[in-house]
Structure 1
Amino acid sequence: MTEQGVRWTAEQVLALAPDAASRKAGSKLGTAGPWSESGSGEGTVWGLCKGSGSRPYQTVVDLADASGPAYKCSCPSRKFPCKHALGLLLLWAEGDGSVPAVAEPPEWAEQWLSGRRERAESKRVEGGGSSAPGSADPEAARRRAERRAERVTAGATELEQRLADLLRGGLASAEQAGYGLWDETAARMVDAQAPGPAARVRELGAIPASGPGWPARLLEECALLHLLDQGWLRRDRLPDTLAATVRSRLGLPAAADGPPVRDRWLVLAQYDTVDPKLTTRRIWLHGAESGHTRLLLSYGAAGRAPELSLPVGLALEAELSVFPGAGQVRAALGEQHAPPAPAALRPPGVTTAQAAARYGDALREDPWLDSVPVTLDRVIPTPDSEPGAWQLADAEADSALPLTPSARSRPGLWRLVALSGGAPVKVFGECGHRGFTPLTAWPEGAGAPVTLC
């Protein structure tokens, strides 16, 4: 497999934007007009951007950081990256000579670069000699874990009683109760320090208003909650890997203790989910040599983008360690041996039938699993028989996967249809009981990936 060079594409740059407004404003600055004294070298891009004041804004981007780009701009914006950093990167991505290769950056850019790299090295050295968090007093950590386990057990016991009351009174009572019953139950799970069940309980409140067939869906979700409760209450009888899965589904903390796997990891997809308190970023990676697909999670406080950012199409040489649990794909990013750079790698694909079978196999190890990461090879987006529904049909087999309802309403669906034009494409996404959610697609033959999320 060959590389496509180290210069990013415009789509990879715009994937860094914290919101749509920044994306639009940055695009307007991606021309040579407002820029002066711009240059690039050794993984760094810099330039001066004319603004409304008398002095231009000093903008510099460090692309050599293995955890993703870092930015510095003298503008007053609190967004990262700001529109000036996006515009500068778009101008650099054009590759038309507007951002020439220069031996050394200007003094103002060099000061920032030197300072942050010295701090990173100091942190690395200090971290190498320090002990793991909490290891100073293992007895205190053990007592805290026991107290939390007691609270989780009390919460699981109470949730079992509430589920029994619901079934005894009939599922129709859930429609009359509204959100109040579930909000109160979720609050009790938060008090019990069991965030996993709390999140699942909150979702139950929306099921009675979700259309025809809601009683069956509500019963299924209640059964999964009951199974999770029983898994915790009988955890001493479970195999170690399944017990670890139960703990992770309850939301109990765990360290990524799997053996580190060094590989060249291709960024398959990156997308954010936002709630009033937290922004969660999901980054899917595929190992070129190991063949493993892994998930990185990064978090940001409300209104702020998570720090880790790896646009689709980049590849980084790094070590990943998985978290405990049966069939676990979530991993922690360890030592990084090279900064992310564009790559022409593509993951191998499977048929739609094989994707469905893969999800079924994964459910045996984790019954609470909503979906698994899958790359589909040579599929064609086509309308389904249900009005407004779509599916991905195998180009060479009589099988298909329906798209999830959420995927049908995304603009990415029409990008996928346009990319295909009736021809087969390779698509990466998440395959689960609701269907398939496409996240990234590649055209037949050569071509850069297209993000769909």
Structure 2
Amino acid sequence: MTQQGVRWTADQVLALAPDTASRKAGSKLGAAGPWSQAGSSDEGTVWGLCKGSGSKPYQTVVDMSDAAGTAYKCSCPSRKFPCKHALGLLLLWAGGDAAVPVAQPPDWAEQWLAGRRKRVEAKAADQASGSAGSADPAAARRRAERRAERVTAGASELEQRLADLLRGGLATAEQAGYGMWEETAARMVDAQAPGLAARVRELGAIPASGPGWPVRLLEECALLHLLDQGWLRRERLPDGLAATVRSRIGLPASADGPPVRDRWLVLAQYDTVDPKLTTRRIWLHGAESGRTALLLSFGAAGRAPELALPVGLAVEAAVSAYPGAGQPRAVLGERFAAPAPAAVRPPGVGTEQAAAAYGEALRADPWLDAVPVTLEAVVPVQDGDSWQLADADGDAALPLSATARSRPGLWRLVALSGGAPVRVFGEHGHRGFAPLTSWPEGPGEAVPLC
């Protein structure tokens, strides 16, 4: 059981899956067949033995009792967290008491649980005592100054390369191929400006993106030029915009905003994967503060990030914001209770208000791709080959992004609606609206769409 004595739903369990393959494999293990000696405790731990291909069953245990977060342990060789066995065990537990009765944990599970709690207590003690020590402020300032000098040199070089491109004509970008952009991106990495490097790599993919690519390339070059100029003239910018420029350049920053303690509803969780890194985005809504916060966590290639919060649950915790004008990114601080089901839903707006919110956000951050928004009382409508979310009581609509139209979650949204209004949380920007989670207008659980 969770601390509130309520079991999670299957959707909340599957929201923890690190990828689609794990979700499918875990679903197959959510039945009693492969499991033996499964049990749970009132405090929020679940364990069981799962029959695998070897002679010994896999020992699987999940701990949801600690406010520090859900943790998993399995004797299988998988490097994914949670693995398919942990997902299957949680699905079995979500099904009811019959398959996973309340019992005393076996020795192998109790040993891991005791060790985990000691590590959590030791980590909390270290943080409280400041055992890491304080860094030399003078040395840190010198390092920051040296890095700023390298970034300035890189930004100046990038300005020259953009000028050469425009002077020679955009057609030269198609002829030169991707190698030109990769070499420029490598120069930005050497200048310790990873944000510039990432944007340069995106430029390299535009000439092969289909009809109309010169217009898109010019637009992105203009935004990159604006970022360069923002850095080179950062002393003249307001503090909030200067912090946004530093963030877009890729300079590290600390979450120095005052901690906001609230009951945070988990709106959405999804991963984006590239060859080197897995990035997990978790959107939260404060039930009392009304704030929307974005948590980012990262995992090396092939490994899911450790932070996982099931969609539709709420966690009482302190959240601190990162600097920057209009930046929703925050860091999750102390947690005061384990995630638990919540009846709260984020307030919604109409489609016209959502479009206006994105336009307003661009004033603070011109490089913003999208803003978080909840649409109230909208209906998914097909318009030829595209889809829109239309106001149920109006004549305005927002187009869905191309990415959203290719996701299976679109059909889940259509099925949930059935032509009736629904509430939808997602990200809205210049590429359209990407739905991430939906709720029926009446009583009902949150339905993840990604």
Q: TM-score range by the shorter chain?
A: over 0.9
Deviation at 1:24, TM superposition (A): 2.7
| TM-score relative to the length of structure 1 | 0.95
Give the structure 1 partner of residue 89 of structure 2: 88
Deviation at 1:215, TM superposition (A): 2.0
Letter of the structure 1 residue corresponding to residue 63 of structure 2: D
| TM-score relative to the length of structure 2 | 0.96
> Would you say the 8 A contact 2:79–2:303 is kept in 1?
no
**Structure 1 367/154 Cα, relative in aligned 2: closer, same or farther at 3 Å?**
same
**Structure 1 136/4 Cα, relative in aligned 2: closer, same or farther at 3 Å?**
closer
Letter of the structure 2 residue corresponding to residue 95 of structure 1: G
Give the structure 2 partner of residue 187 of structure 1: 186
> Would you say the 8 A contact 2:318–2:333 is kept in 1?
yes
Q: What is the distance in 2 between the residues matched to 1:20 and 1:118?
A: 33
Q: What is the distance in 1 between the residues matched to 2:54 and 2:302?
A: 27
Q: What is the distance in 1 between the residues matched to 2:448 and 2:4?
A: 18
Give the structure 2 partner of residue 115 of structure 1: 115
Give the structure 1 partner of residue 18 of structure 2: 18
Letter of the structure 1 residue corresponding to residue 160 of structure 2: Q
Q: Which structure 2 residues correspond to residues 43-62 of structure 1 after superposition, within 5 A?
A: 43-62=44-63
Give the structure 2 partner of residue 75 of structure 1: 76
Q: Which structure 2 residues correspond to residues 348-367 of structure 1 after superposition, within 5 A?
A: 348-367=347-366
1:238 has 2:241 as partner: no
Q: Which structure 2 residues correspond to residues 308-347 of structure 1 after superposition, within 5 A?
A: 308-347=307-346
Moved more, 332-341 or 71-80: 71-80
Q: What is the distance in 2 between the residues matched to 1:189 and 1:56?
A: 50
1:413 has 2:390 as partner: no
SS in 2 for 1:300: strand
> Would you say the 8 A contact 1:380–1:392 is kept in 2?
yes
> Would you say the 8 A contact 1:5–1:343 is kept in 2?
no
Give the structure 1 partner of residue 428 of structure 2: 431
How many residues are paired up?
A: 447
SS in 1 for 2:404: helix
Letter of the structure 1 residue corresponding to residue 25 of structure 2: A
Q: What is the distance in 2 between the residues matched to 1:210 and 1:312?
A: 34
> Would you say the 8 A contact 2:4–2:340 is kept in 1?
no
Q: What is the distance in 2 between the residues matched to 1:377 and 1:430?
A: 14
Deviation at 1:227, TM superposition (A): 0.8
1:127 has 2:127 as partner: yes
Deviation at 1:52, TM superposition (A): 4.1
1:393 has 2:369 as partner: no
Deviation at 1:428, TM superposition (A): 0.5
Deviation at 1:256, TM superposition (A): 0.2
Q: Which runs of 5+ in 2 are unaligned?
A: none
> Would you say the 8 A contact 2:48–2:61 is kept in 1?
yes
* Percent identity over paired residues: 81
Deviations 1:218-261 (A, max 9, x none): 11111111111111111111111111110000000000000000
Moved more, 169-178 or 274-283: 169-178
RMSD of aligned residue pairs (Cα, Å):
1.7
SS in 2 for 1:205: helix
SS in 2 for 1:236: helix
Q: Which runs of 5+ in 1 are unaligned?
A: none
> Would you say the 8 A contact 2:437–2:449 is kept in 1?
yes
Deviations 1:165-218 (A, max 9, x none): 111112222222221221111111111111111111111122222233322221
Q: What is the distance in 1 between the residues matched to 2:51 and 2:403?
A: 42
Q: Which structure 2 residues correspond to residues 137-286 of structure 1 after superposition, within 5 A?
A: 137-286=136-285
**Structure 1 408/114 Cα, relative in aligned 2: closer, same or farther at 3 Å?**
same
Deviation at 1:404, TM superposition (A): 0.8
Letter of the structure 1 residue corresponding to residue 174 of structure 2: E
Letter of the structure 2 residue corresponding to residue 420 of structure 1: S
Deviations 1:321-372 (A, max 9, x none): 0000000100011111011122222111000000000011111111111100
Q: What is the distance in 2 between the residues matched to 1:198 and 1:452?
A: 31
Moved more, 211-220 or 92-101: 211-220
> Would you say the 8 A contact 1:5–1:342 is kept in 2?
no
Q: Which structure 2 residues correspond to residues 379-390 of structure 1 after superposition, within 5 A?
A: 379-384=378-383, 387-390=384-387
